[in-house]
Amino acid sequence: MAGKGKDASSSNTKGKKKEVKKETGLGLSVKKDDNFGEWYSEVVVNGEMIEYYDISGCYILRPWAMSIWEILQTFFDAEIKKMKIKNCYFPLFVSPGVLQKEKDHIEGFAPEVAWVTKSGESELEVPIAIRPTSETVMYPYFSKWIRGHRDLPLRLNQWCNVVRWEFSNPTPFIRSREFLWQEGHTAFMKIPNFLLLTKSCFISSCCRIKECLSCCGVKLLFLCWLQESFLVLEILELYRRIYEEFLAVPVIKGKKSEHEKFAGGLYTTTVEAFIPNTGRGIQGATSHCLGQNFAKMFEINFENDKGEKAMVWQNSWAYTTRTIGVMIMVHGDDKGLVLPPKIASIQTLNESGIRAEVDSRDNYSPGWKYSNWEMKGVPLRIEIGPKDLANNQVRAVRRDNSAKIDIPMANLVEQVNDLLNDIQKSLFEVAKQKRDACIHTVNTWEEFAEALIQKKMILAPWCDEEV
Ligand code: 87F
């Protein structure tokens, strides 16, 4: 191949690196452990995930990022459909009237609500809000659509964008003013527990719920919350799978404290990740049991099978494009992105179902191309040189640990599949070891403060009571 590009991978000295960066746009100017914030900004841009935009806190998601979102979306969408959850789409705009209905819980959030006040040159008679979340948009229609117990359960989901005008330090994927998410909203009638327990399908599910709840520290409420928790925890398990099975990021399932829960609900469950470089935990996704709070506000009532008026119970749950940012922060290295095979849009060997792309650009040298794909985090690179051809083999190079493996052509599909599975597993294990090495158990306030300074993830006794 005729190459006019420079081989960035072979330039180690500082001077040379700069030269390469100027000439090719390749290479990062900072190391992950030296300046994490700067490293992250460079990785998302040079890895072609993000382009900065001229409105602060808003970012362009380039195809490389969007394809990851689509893979997560395909998985989650199929799973929720199995749970009889249906997709819908509600408008982006909220009238001030309904927003006001929810004023108690929205009070703390009000500064983040963005408003449209003008069309062209004329002021709108009534300004309209842009959804920061869709409770107020959807629940008036839940109230209209739910009449009798036969209308229940109502299980809806929407894939959309929301806008929250954040003022703290915006960060691509992690904290942006507009982001993509799915938001699920369900309404159901609460069946007395003895009825549930006579159904074998629920009995077998109990075991799973019990497990999850004990890890969240909720025990006493187990029986009476059984039914409301069921979907909440099923969704939470899907969120765990998104992080652990797709993004290879270990998470901890848990229940938020009273202080941190969604104020509009009864309790909030969460998957929490940890970023070793910052020593901070980060909320991965939440699944809420709303109880009857919104049903009261929006009068979501129905006639039960005895002809009596009753009020629905509700759940809501969401995960966002933040998932991608967490994955980048956990796996990325000094060469750029490191993408787990399951979410990488380019794997190898399309025909056998492996996502692959041939880089046949003849205006770049092989070395330039290696660095380029390393920056973009492709899990496995396959090189075929004249020697390889003569020996009827190819050379595979792993992105995660740089290992080089020669593969006979005859075993290509099988070995590549094995390698991709191994990379996926190994990324998770390495991330988990790193995370676990940061977990510190403390019993006193002094130990707590010290562990915090050392950027540890703290395991401490917790009663969730104010003293
Ligand atoms: C910002 C502005 C206005 C979060 C906000 O988690 C309102 C809100 O209600 C707001 N930021 N929230 C809480 C969202 C709760 C809930 N909504 C449905 C979810 C899951 C999906």
Residue 343 inside a domain? The answer is: no
* Last residue in a domain, options 283, 300, 329: 329
261 pocket-lining for ligand 1 (C-beta < 6 Å)? no
162 and 90 together in one domain: yes
102 pocket-lining for ligand 1 (C-beta < 6 Å)? no
* Per-residue pLDDT, 199: 36
Residue 153: is the preceding peptide bond cis (ω within 30°)?
yes
Residue 293 inside a domain? The answer is: yes
308 and 388 together in one domain: no
109 pocket-lining for ligand 1 (C-beta < 6 Å)? yes
Q: 53-67, 130-144, 274-288, 344-358: which range is least confident on average?
A: 344-358
Distance, CA of 179 to CA of 185 (rounded, Å): 18
Distance, CA of 315 to CA of 183 (rounded, Å): 11
39 and 162 together in one domain: no
Q: Are 151 and 302 in contact (CB under 8 A)?
A: yes
Give distance in angstroms: CA of 183 to centre of ligand 1: 10
Task: Using pLDDT thresholds of 50, 70 and 90, give the confidence band for residue 283.
Answer: very high
Give distance in angstroms: CA of 106 to centre of ligand 1: 8
Each residue's pLDDT tens digit, 383-415: 998 899 899 999 999 999 999 999 998 899 999
Q: Measured at the alpha carbon of residue 130, what is the angle toward residues 127 and 134, in degrees to the nearest 5?
A: 125
Residue 345 inside a domain? The answer is: no
CATH number of residue 390's parent domain: 3.40.50.800
CATH number of residue 302's parent domain: 3.30.930.10
Residue 397's SS3 state is: strand
111 and 46 together in one domain: no
User: Is the pTM above the cut of 0.75?
Assistant: yes
Residue of the CA atom closest to atom 17 of ligand 1 = 133
- The per-residue pLDDT of the chain, averaged, comes to 87
Strand partners, 128: 116
157 pocket-lining for ligand 1 (C-beta < 6 Å)? no
183 and 323 together in one domain: yes
Residue 335 inside a domain? The answer is: no
Where do we find the tokens 């599909």? 413
Q: Which of 11, 38, 3 has the alpha carbon at shortest distance from 363? A: 3
Distance, CA of 112 to CA of 129 (rounded, Å): 10
311 and 270 together in one domain: yes
* Per-residue pLDDT, 156: 98
Query: Is pLDDT larger for residue 229 or for residue 363?
Result: 363
94 and 204 together in one domain: yes
Has residue 298 got a pLDDT over 70?
yes
6 pocket-lining for ligand 1 (C-beta < 6 Å)? no
Amino acid in the structure at residue 340: P
Task: Using pLDDT thresholds of 50, 70 and 90, give the confidence band for residue 227.
Answer: low
**Looking at residues 331-351, what average pLDDT do you find?**
87
Atom number of ligand 1 nearest to Cα 287: 20
Q: Are 216 and 329 in contact (CB under 8 A)?
A: no
Residue 337 inside a domain? The answer is: no
Structurally, the chain folds into a number of domains equal to 3
Residue 450 inside a domain? The answer is: no
335 pocket-lining for ligand 1 (C-beta < 6 Å)? no
- Residue to substitute in 109, 256, 294 for testing ligand 1 pocket (most ligand atoms within 8 angstroms of CB): 109
* Per-residue pLDDT, 465: 81
Each residue's pLDDT tens digit, 301-338: 999 999 999 999 999 999 999 999 999 999 999 999 99
Domain that residue 42 falls in = 6-52
428 and 288 together in one domain: no
Residue of the CA atom closest to atom 12 of ligand 1 = 133
Query: Is pLDDT larger for residue 26 or for residue 440?
Result: 440
Has residue 201 got a pLDDT over 60?
no
* Last residue in a domain, options 329, 362, 377: 329
Give distance in angstroms: CA of 131 to centre of ligand 1: 9
Residue 457 inside a domain? The answer is: no
325 and 387 together in one domain: no
206 and 278 together in one domain: yes
138 and 231 together in one domain: yes
41 and 71 together in one domain: no
Each residue's pLDDT tens digit, 235-244: 999 999 999 9
Each residue's pLDDT tens digit, 41-77: 999 999 999 999 999 999 999 999 999 999 999 999 9
329 pocket-lining for ligand 1 (C-beta < 6 Å)? no
Has residue 23 got a pLDDT over 80?
no
Task: Using pLDDT thresholds of 50, 70 and 90, give the confidence band for residue 16.
Answer: very low
Has residue 217 got a pLDDT over 60?
no
* Last residue in a domain, options 329, 362, 385: 329
246 pocket-lining for ligand 1 (C-beta < 6 Å)? no
